[in-house]
Amino acid sequence: MALPVQSCFNVLTLRQGTLLIAVVELFLSVFLLFLLLLGSADAQEMAAVLEADIEDSAAREGIALAPDTDLPSSYSSSSSSSVAISHNQAQLHKAQHLAFVVIMSLYTGVIMAIVHLISCILLLYGTAMVIFAFYVWLVVYSHYKELCALEEAICSANHHMLKNGYFQFPEKAYNV
């Protein structure tokens, strides 16, 4: 036995269920966006402190960092052309790489949360304004009707969707 499309869990109407889902998802999306932006600000502060630690460590050891890059290969010393990188410097550069990965992951999460927020707003707007988004399904159904007409298949005029009055199509499909 199929459930009717007009109700959601036999308690709420389909419109009420959609409104409830849209509002809950909207609040969750805003909360997630707030947490991601807070984490992004914290990660940027952490990266700034880490950069200052790298510069202080290099200054204490008498190593001049190249202005454009701060990779381990960009170290130079006045006494020799190759400098052995200490364990502390290697850990600082690993932490700097990890901070970069975390910041990029948080930016990606922020972008995804913004897209989710926009889709929740559009769902809420479409439900509140009673805008039916059946255009894609109408195109698919009309393409199905056209294929049935072109292949000389039997496509009944009293199809259950047509019988209920959901779709109104012309009697003849497009002539090719």
The predicted model gives 116-144 an average pLDDT of 70
Q: Per the structure block, which two tokens stand in for 131? A: 């805008």
Average pLDDT across the chain, whole number: 72
Among 11-25, 34-48, 96-110, 152-166, where is mean pLDDT lowest? 152-166
Query: What span, in angstroms and rounded, lies between the C-alpha atoms of 101 and 82?
Result: 28
Alpha helices in the chain (DSSP H): 14-60, 87-128, 135-150, 160-163
Q: Distances in Å between the alpha carbon of 45 and those of 19, 26, 41, 50, 97?
A: 39, 29, 6, 9, 15
Query: What span, in angstroms and rounded, lies between the C-alpha atoms of 2 and 7?
Result: 12
What DSSP designation does 73 have? G
Does pLDDT of 147 surpass 90? no
Would you kindly state where each structural domain of the chain is located, as residue ranges?
7-61+94-166
Query: What span, in angstroms and rounded, lies between the C-alpha atoms of 17 and 24?
Result: 11
The predicted model gives 45-59 an average pLDDT of 88
Query: What span, in angstroms and rounded, lies between the C-alpha atoms of 30 and 114?
Result: 9
Q: Within 13 A of 1's CA, how many CA atoms are on the CB side? A: 0
Round to the nearest angstrom and report the end-to-end CA distance of the chain. Answer: 40
Query: What span, in angstroms and rounded, lies between the C-alpha atoms of 127 and 4?
Result: 19
Q: Per the structure block, which two tokens stand in for 156? A: 């009944």
106 and 40 in contact (C-beta within 8 Å)?
yes
Model pLDDT for residues 80-112, shown as the tens digit of each residue: 434 556 777 788 889 889 999 999 999 999 999
The rounded percent of the chain whose pLDDT value lies above 70 is 55
* pLDDT attached to residue 143: 59
